[in-house]
Amino acid sequence: MKTLEDLTSIEQMEADTAKLKEIACSVCAETWEDRNKKQTPHCKFGEDGICCKNCSMGPCRITPKASRGICGADAHAIAARNYLRTIAAGTSAHSDHAREILHILHGASRDGNYHVRDEQKLLRLAQEWEVATEGRDIYDIAHDVAEVGLMEFGKIHGNQRFIKRATAERQKVWHDQGIEPRAIDREIATSLHMTHMGNSADPEALVRQGLRTGISNGWGGSMLGTEITDILFGTPTVRTTEGNLGVLEKDMVNIVVHGHDPAFSEMVVTAAEIKELVDYAKSKGAKGINIVGLCCTANEVAMRHGVRMAGNFLQQENAVLTGAVEMMCVDVQCIFPALAPLSECFHTKFVTSSPIARIPGSIYVEFKPETAFEQAKGLIKMAIDNYQSRDRSKVFIPSTKQTAVVGYPTEQIIKHLDGVTNSHVDEIGSYRPAIDAIKAGVLRGAVAIVGCNNPRVRPDYSHFEIMKELLQNDILIVATGCAAQLATKAGLLNKDAKYVCGAGLRRVCELVNIPPILHMGACVDISRMMLLATGIAKDWGVDTTQIPVVGCAPEWMSEKAVSIANYVVSTGIDVYLGIEPQVRGSTQMMDLITQGTRNIVGAGYIINKDPHELVKSILEGIEAKRAGLGI
């Protein structure tokens, strides 16, 4: 790869989708494109956030002739309540995911299905939480650490433990503003309580609770999820893999793992390596077993095992449409219920595994930690048995794929920076080399590009355009979630992608030996980004709100994304959105989320649907931060 032309363009990706769409038509299957058409135009009240159904006197909708609901709630109250409920739902999803992982750690044992893979990280966390380690068995420590972690969800007193990891200035802001998060479940419950009929109607109070609930996710649930996942399955390291539908194999048993919680997919990945199963696959005429990922589960297993990524959110139906998927195994979140009827048009077995995501038409195999490995083996066998049912006349696997280098948690970033600091021993283990590059202007700053894709805009187009332009402007990008997978599909996680960068960034990539976009993981791993920004700010001697680093979610769609945006803003980092939050029916709310939060936490949203306009604002924002620091 030497030029922009070597990247996989959005047009190429769309051409693949169009061919798969033809297959969908030939088998009379419906896809999101069809359903999106039928849903357009969307309900205006919902879009504007001014429909309330929080009690059965309603639903009440705000119109020119009805400026208040029956109870008297106005557009501002209704939009703010809906917004807070969204944040509460997003927080519950991320945090419940973390809770599941903590239960797995709690039950981990030497002779069980789950083990402690990163003992050092466990010991560090034990120390941070004052859990005794001296002379104790690692599994006893793991058990106690899990107990302390689980208490973060429901403890009666005190705040989230991880907020102490933030800069001193940030902690003071949260304290002074009264938004230090308490127990995670409590913040979610308080949000639901505040928005119950007959409670808060003050948009600012509701927005403040949104920030607090968001922090309980980013500096609570999500951070717990990331830490404990690393302890159980290993802290990710740099690996080379591939991405896009071309990773499906025409003569192998293809199994797609999809969702978010890696406890299940880790087992599937491990079981697929067993010789007995590989031999069994061969006995059925396949060349082997090919496990690939979708959505955030893909990010998790790619970073820890190099498992290849079939694609992001809006590509989930495409995977089935190839006709080459023997089994789609899902855990939780971002799973289309549409996969069930779609799978019926093919031989694909659609397997759900969590009581949290029950989908009619799926094969439900409730996954239990005690029997996880045996269950995973059973599923793989079922997929192998299904290989012979593949109808070869229906198979079309697009050949498009790109190589990608993934797996840059903060530990790996530091390690790479250490590699270029040989002459300054005092810089070992710090972000100083990155800070120096920013100060010198070789790098202008960094942008975290995260989030989903969304039919409200041309899917993946905004991600792609924003990434290219920022790289050309010497902005280093860190990415997670489906945004990271667009980067994968495009070829931007390839080390050769440095050729699309500005001269400064290209030099940094060559020196540090990194791709210009660093893949930091799944959506829960945006907590890693918070620690990255905090580490940089601390080494710089300033607060997170001062450094030239911003967040950007060009195509977000999920409630989790709104929760994330709230903790990123609470951390003092501006968030650039390409999709408008559903509060447009309230001028006060639009003002609060773009300006009002600046008076509370020093950051807010900047919203623009046009990716090029959004880039312009990002660059201005970064230059303003630089000017503020006198660089």
Non-local CB neighbours of 215 within 8 Å, separated by 6+ positions: 160, 163, 174, 179, 180, 181, 566, 567, 570
For ligand SF4, which is the closer residue by CB, 54 or 571? 54
User: Is residue 560 near ligand XCC by the rule CB under 6 A?
Assistant: yes
Residue of the chain from 228, 295, 307, 615 that contacts ligand XCC (CB under 6 A): 295
The site partner of 209 among ligand XCC, ligand SF4, none (C-beta below 5 to 8 Å per kind) is none
Ranges of H-type helices in 367-480: 372-386, 410-418, 432-440, 461-472
The site partner of 448 among ligand SF4, ligand XCC, none (C-beta below 5 to 8 Å per kind) is none
User: Is residue 478 near ligand XCC by the rule CB under 6 A?
Assistant: no
The site partner of 296 among ligand XCC, ligand SF4, none (C-beta below 5 to 8 Å per kind) is ligand XCC
Question: β-pairing, 349-352 with 327-330?
Answer: parallel
> Closest approach of Cβ 524 to ligand XCC, in Å?
8
Single-letter amino acid, residue 482: C
CA 339 to chain CA centroid, nearest Å: 21
For ligand XCC, which is the closer residue by CB, 224 or 443? 224
Residue of the chain from 71, 89, 382, 420 that contacts ligand SF4 (CB under 6 A): 71
Ranges of H-type helices in 200-274: 203-216, 222-233, 262-271
For ligand XCC, which is the closer residue by CB, 260 or 432? 260
User: Is residue 70 near ligand SF4 by the rule CB under 6 A?
Assistant: yes
DSSP for 474-488, written as a single string: TEEEEEEHHHHHHHH
For ligand XCC, which is the closer residue by CB, 313 or 373? 313
Q: Which of 212, 230, 238 is nearest to 123 (CA)?
A: 230
Single-letter amino acid, residue 226: T
> Closest approach of Cβ 527 to ligand XCC, in Å?
13
> Closest approach of Cβ 39 to ligand SF4, in Å?
23
Q: Which of 481, 581, 567 is nearest to 530 (CA)?
A: 567
For ligand SF4, which is the closer residue by CB, 52 or 332? 52
Query: Bridge partners of 254?
Result: 290
Is residue 324 a contact partner of residue 301, using CB atoms and an 8 Å limit? no
For ligand SF4, which is the closer residue by CB, 52 or 614? 52
Query: Bridge partners of 551?
Result: 448, 575
The site partner of 523 among ligand SF4, ligand XCC, none (C-beta below 5 to 8 Å per kind) is ligand XCC
For ligand XCC, which is the closer residue by CB, 335 or 397? 335
User: Is residue 618 near ligand SF4 by the rule CB under 6 A?
Assistant: no
489: which 2 tokens?
């599909």
Residue of the chain from 482, 562, 607, 618 that contacts ligand XCC (CB under 6 A): 482
For ligand XCC, which is the closer residue by CB, 295 or 475? 295
The site partner of 71 among ligand XCC, ligand SF4, none (C-beta below 5 to 8 Å per kind) is ligand SF4
Which of the residues 302 through 321 are near ligand XCC (CB under 6 A)? 312-313
Q: Between the CA of residue 541 and those of 418, 431, 601, what are the distances in Å?
A: 19, 12, 19
Residue of the chain from 13, 24, 50, 73 that contacts ligand SF4 (CB under 6 A): 73
Q: How far apart are CA 371 and CA 353, in angstroms?
A: 13
Q: How far apart are CA 548 and CA 566, in angstroms?
A: 19
User: Is residue 90 near ligand XCC by the rule CB under 6 A?
Assistant: no
The site partner of 69 among ligand XCC, ligand SF4, none (C-beta below 5 to 8 Å per kind) is ligand SF4
For ligand XCC, which is the closer residue by CB, 295 or 568? 295
Task: Report the residue count for the chain.
Answer: 631
Single-letter amino acid, residue 75: A
- Please, is 139 exposed, middle or buried when counting C-beta atoms within 10 Å of its C-beta (0-12, 13-18, 19+)? middle
Which of the residues 157 through 216 are near ligand SF4 (CB under 6 A)? 197
Non-local CB neighbours of 297 within 8 Å, separated by 6+ positions: 257, 258, 259, 260, 261, 262, 265, 331, 522
Site string for ligand SF4, 31-60 (x = CB under 6 A): ---------------------xxxx-xxxx
Residue of the chain from 226, 558, 571, 588 that contacts ligand XCC (CB under 6 A): 558
The site partner of 481 among ligand XCC, ligand SF4, none (C-beta below 5 to 8 Å per kind) is ligand XCC
The site partner of 55 among ligand SF4, ligand XCC, none (C-beta below 5 to 8 Å per kind) is ligand SF4
* Residue 631, CB-side half-sphere exposure with 13 Å CA sphere: 19
For ligand XCC, which is the closer residue by CB, 106 or 560? 560
Torsional class of 46: left (φ above 0), alpha (ψ -120 to 50), beta (otherwise): alpha
Q: Residue numbers of the site for ligand SF4 (CB under 6 A)?
A: 52-55, 57-60, 69-71, 73, 78, 197
Q: Residue numbers of the site for ligand XCC (CB under 6 A)?
A: 260, 295-296, 312-313, 334, 451-452, 481-482, 522-523, 558, 560
